Structure formats: C-alpha cells, structure tokens
Amino acid sequence: MAGFRSVHRVRCENIKLADGWAQDQLVEISSEGLITNIGPADEVPVDLVLRGPVVPGIPNLHSHAHQRVLAGMTETRTPGKDDFWSWRDLMYRANKSITPDDLESIARLVFIEMVKQGYTVVAEFHYLHHAPGGEHYLQIDEMSQRLWSAAEDAGITLVLLPVLYSYGGFDQRPLQGAQFRFSNSLEDYLRLLEKVRDFADRRGNRGYGAAAHSLRAVAPEQLIELEAVSHRDHSDIPFHIHVAEQMNEVEECIALLGTRPVEWLCEAVNVDHRWCFIHATHVVDQELESMVDRDVVVGLCPTTEANLGDGLFPVTKFLALGGKFGIGSDSQVCSDPSRELQLLEYGQRLVHHRRALLMNSDEKHNGNALVHSAVEGGSQACGRPLIGITVGAPADLVELNTDSPRLSGRTALEALDSWIFAGADNSVRTVLVMGSEVVTEGRHIGEASATRNFLNTFKRLTDSSPL
C-alpha cells in the first residue's frame, strides 16, 4: 500500500492463530500481502518484532462512512417521537449537500479511525451514488471511486457494496427529496456493479459485493433478478441487505408480502453463505433456524442499534443453533470493534441476568470467543474464504498494547479480555493490513492531515445544512 512500510518477516511472541494461540512464531508474508508460512521463530533477521499479544484484524462488515458527520449530532430532542425515523430525517438533511470531495474527506478520516482501533477490512454499504437532486455524475461510479481513494490513503482493505435503492416503502411509493441521491434502476445499478468489479479487480486489497438496501426499498422482482445476475456474472461475491431492523418494517412486510422479512427472503430468494442480513433485530425462532440452515451471517452493529433504539437481536439463541455473526460500525458513533463486542455481550447480560453468554462451554475466555466469532462471521460476510491468521490469508495482524495500564501485567488471553471489557483508546499498538504497517505505536501517518480536511468539510456541511 502506498506510503506504508511493507514487512515480510514478523516475529510474534504471542499470536492467536486460526487453530489457537502459539508463542514465539515467525510469520512470513509475500509481496502481495498474503501469509506464506507460519512457524517457530529462528535466529534470523526480521522486519518487525511484535511483543504484545497479536490477534487477527477484525472485519467491519457494515459501514456507512458518510454518516460520520452525523455522529454525536442527533442527541437533541426533536418534536414528537424520537426514534429511528426521526434520526433518519436528520441523516437525510446531513447527506443532502455532500460532494464527492466531501465524501472522500469524511471516509478517509473514518477509515483511519477504524484501522487505528483494529479493523483491517471494511464492507462499505454505499448508497450515496448521485448528485443532490439525483442527477448522475459523469462517471456513474464517481462516489465509489472516492471511497476507494479514501481507503487507499487509510491503508484499510475496502469491500465496496454498491446498494440498490429504488423505492420509498413496501408499497413501492416513489423516492422523495434527499432519497433521489440513492436511486438507481436495476439496469443502472448493474452497470454500476460492473464498474465497481472492474476497479476492484485491479488491486488485491479491494473487494466488492452486491447489496439491496432493504425489502422496503426494492421490489421483490428486482431482488430476485439481482441475486440471479450477481450469482451468474459475479461469481461468489457477498450479498448484503438490511432486514427487520424496525418493527414497523416487519408489520408492513407481513401486510404487503404476506410474511415476515427473513421468512420471505429465505423462501423467495436463493439465500446461502454469500448473504449477510444486517441487524435482523426483530425475528422469531423459525427465522433464526432458517438463517442457520442457509449459513447466513448476521451483521450486528451494537452501538448504532443502541443509539437508534432498535432493540436486541437474540444472539445467544442464534449461537446456540450454530449461527454466525460479525460486527459493524454502521453509523460511526463508534469506530472501535472492542466496544461493539463489549456492548453485544452486555446487552445479553442485561436481558438474561447472567454473564459470559456468547461463548461455548469449552472456552474459558470471553474476549477470545468474541474475537473468534467476529473474525469468522465477518470474514465470510466480506467474501474472504480463509479465516484468521493462517497460511494463504491476508496478513492482517493487530498487536495489543501491553504498555497500557489497562492491558499490562496480563497473559495474552487476559489482555484480550481486557481489550474488550476494560480497554482504552491506546489499547492497539501496531496494525498490519496485507503486510503493510499501517499503525505504529498507536499512530497513523495520515491522521493529522485527514483530521484537518474532515474538520473543514464538517464546518462547511453544518454551516450549509444546520441540524
């Protein structure tokens, strides 16, 4: 990656490999950023020594980078009922004047914030396609290209998910106002998807997938055709969709499609391991079983779901059935995977009045179990066939900072527990993304300039469109 030091031989004193923890290991990395060998460290020269516990980079399976300008700005009471829908109105207002330059500036900072905290790949659920008013840019993938550029500067691997968004509700009412920026016909969307594929294929640190915003934003026939085309023409790419985030979405789906959202998807569409259902908050037991049977990953975004008052996905029951989940930063109120995993566990504790709920009986350390689950589900949802730190996988390594008082004096497993449940902003010391040293001593070389640019963008946007 441009501007970052590439390393090819890394000595790790304690490392969480795909098959368990190991000590004093040498990780060898190809020029393409893939792990070629892992074995006992010999007395040979190395490019980097990582003395703190090393864990796999965490996949961020659901991000809306442009919503970073809104983070923390929606906590003033609005007239009437404050809920997801009132928040959405504020989000539309914040979106309405974002230019391509603005999007690149916003995304660059939020991607840097992510990678500093241990995310190494981000699936960007991208629907801000067009100019204000809905006019197409000269290049239909203009906004997508800005996200690629921002990710390159940040040093994070981007899996771009252009989103099909055609309607304003289950009754297929037309989009209005700020929603025009999201709108594509299926034909235009497929053209955009081809552009994204061509761009992604040029670099190994890029990926892509297909996405539909939600059942309320696409027609059933559109979704069925999109799945068929993506499967036929785009091989094994991921397919993501928001589903059952709000109860009124479930109620409208029952009224107009005759069944619940997850149930409809699993019966009407070729749902399989490629699919990631984002949120899936309001589901029943039969739907949990259907998702497990089809090897669907559920994308959970605990800080956003809590911020919006969505509710809690029944993750304890889902895991007991053999389900998989990953985590996402979603609205960017938090860019730290450890906080997402902490809140995920704490939510279940509050519901069930017990502790350490999201781990099997063979596991002793909650942090270890949570990271394993997030890496497994997140990797699948990002289209990565190999999971964790193993030969052939991207060299995405995160070294925890045991000089931090909150992590010091602990074993590797205790430090990992502490990162999740008692960590601080300085808990991550080093981050490698595909063999490039992107974060060193907790710092990113592009952070200062990215922050300045973001603050200028933020001021212009909030001056022109006060929230």
pLDDT 10s digits, 328-371: 999 999 999 999 999 999 999 999 999 999 988 788 999 999 99
Sign of CA dihedral 80, 82, 88, 93: positive
Rounded CA separation 136/118 (Å): 35
CA distances from 159 to 200, 208, 336 (A): 9, 5, 18
Binned at pLDDT 50, 70 and 90, residue 461 comes out as confident
Q: Which two tokens stand for residue 315?
A: 């993750």
pLDDT for 42 beyond 90: no
Which of 102, 153, 310, 330 is labelled catalytic? 330
Higher per-residue confidence, 463 vs 446: 446
Tell me, letter by letter, the H, E, C secondary structure of 421-465: HHCCCCCEEEEEECCEEEEECCECCCHHHHHHHHHHHHHHHHHHC
Rounded mean pLDDT, 408-421: 97
Between 199-203, 384-388, 441-445, the lowest mean confidence (pLDDT) is in 199-203
Instruction: Assign 3-state DSSP to the chain and report helix, strand, coil percentages, each to 5.
Output: 40, 20, 40
Binned at pLDDT 50, 70 and 90, residue 407 comes out as very high
pLDDT for 85 beyond 80: no
Q: Please report how many Cα atoms fall inside a 13 Å half-sphere around the Cα of residue 250, on the Cβ side.
A: 15
Residue 217 makes CB contacts below 8 A (sequence gap 6+) with 164, 165, 166, 167, 168
Rounded mean pLDDT, 430-458: 97
Q: Is 297 helix (H, G, I), strand (E, B) or coil?
A: strand
Residue 443 is which amino acid? Answer: R
pLDDT for 373 beyond 90: yes
Which of 64, 129, 130, 279 is labelled catalytic? 279
DSSP, res 157: E
Q: What percent of the chain has pLDDT over 70?
A: 96
pLDDT of residue 406: 96
pLDDT digits (tens, 9 = 90+) for 173-230: 999 888 899 999 999 999 999 999 999 986 667 899 999 999 999 999 999 999 999 9
Q: What is the mean pLDDT of the chain?
A: 94
Q: Are 407 and 418 in contact (CB under 8 A)?
A: yes
Rounded CA separation 182/441 (Å): 40
Spell out the alpha helix ranges (H) of 278-398: 285-293, 302-308, 315-320, 337-352, 366-381
pLDDT of residue 446: 97
pLDDT digits (tens, 9 = 90+) for 114-161: 999 999 999 999 999 999 889 999 999 999 999 999 999 999 999 999
What is the helix (H) or strand (E) element at residue 212, kind and residue range?
strand 210-212
- As a whole number of Å, the end-to-end CA separation of the chain is 37
pLDDT of residue 2: 65
Binned at pLDDT 50, 70 and 90, residue 89 comes out as confident
pLDDT of residue 220: 97
CA distances from 459 to 58, 161, 257 (A): 31, 28, 44
Burial status of residue 37 (CB atoms within 10 A of its CB: 0-12, 13-18, 19 or more):
exposed
pLDDT for 467 beyond 70: no
Q: Is 19 helix (H, G, I), strand (E, B) or coil?
A: coil
Rounded CA separation 364/37 (Å): 29
In the numeric block, the tokens 């996988």 are attached to 393
Rounded mean pLDDT, 233-237: 89
Between 278-282, 392-396, 423-427, the lowest mean confidence (pLDDT) is in 423-427
Binned at pLDDT 50, 70 and 90, residue 43 comes out as confident
Residue 70 makes CB contacts below 8 A (sequence gap 6+) with 90, 91, 94, 331, 332, 467
Rounded CA separation 208/321 (Å): 29
Tell me if residue 330 is catalytic: yes
- Would you say how long the chain is, in residues? 467
pLDDT for 440 beyond 80: yes
pLDDT digits (tens, 9 = 90+) for 300-335: 999 999 999 999 999 999 999 999 999 999 999 999
Tell me if residue 444 is catalytic: no
Domains in the chain: ranges and CATH: 5-56+398-447 (2.30.40.10), 58-381 (3.20.20.140)
Rounded CA separation 156/207 (Å): 11
| Vertex 293: Cα angle to 291 and 294 (nearest 5) | 65
The C-alpha torsion from 342 through 360 and 271 to 304, rounded to 10°, is: -10
Binned at pLDDT 50, 70 and 90, residue 244 comes out as very high
